[in-house]
Structure 1
Amino acid sequence: MVETGCPCGSGKGYGECCGRFHAGEAAAPTAEALMRSRYSAYAKGDTAYLLTTWHSSTRPQRLDLDRKTRWTGLEILGATGGSAVHTEGTVRFRARYAERGQAGVLEEHSAFTRENGRWVYVAAL
Structure 2
Amino acid sequence: MRSRYSAFALGAVDYLIETLAPEKRQPGEAELLTEQTQVTTWTGLTILDTQAGGPQDPIGVVEFEARFDSGPDRGVLHERSRFRRENGRWLYVDGDVQLKPA
> Is 1:113 aligned to 2:79, yes or no?
no
Structure 2 unaligned spans of 5+: 97-102
Structure 1 unaligned spans of 5+: 1-34
Distance in 2 (alpha carbons) for counterparts of 1:90 and 1:104: 22
Distance in 1 (alpha carbons) for counterparts of 2:84 and 2:39: 31
- Alpha-carbon deviations, 1:7-32, whole Å to 9, x = none? xxxxxxxxxxxxxxxxxxxxxxxxxx
Give 3-state SS (helix, strand or coil) of 1:110's partner: strand
Task: Map 1:58-73 to 2 at 5 A.
Answer: 58-61=24-27, 62-63=29-30, 64-65=32-33, 66=36, 67-73=38-44
1:88 deviates by: 0.3
Q: What is aligned with 2:65?
A: 94
AA at the equivalent of 2:88? G
Question: TM-score, length-normalised on structure 2?
Answer: 0.84
Q: What is aligned with 1:54?
A: 20
More helix by percentage: 2
1:49 deviates by: 0.1
More strand by percentage: 2
Q: What is aligned with 1:42?
A: 8
- Alpha-carbon deviations, 1:23-80, whole Å to 9, x = none? xxxxxxxxxxxx1000000000010000000111112332323212100000000000
Distance in 2 (alpha carbons) for counterparts of 1:59 and 1:82: 22
Counterpart of 2:55 (choices 84, 89, 103) is 84
AA at the equivalent of 2:53? G
1:117 deviates by: 2.3
What do you get for the CA RMSD once the two structures are aligned? 1.1
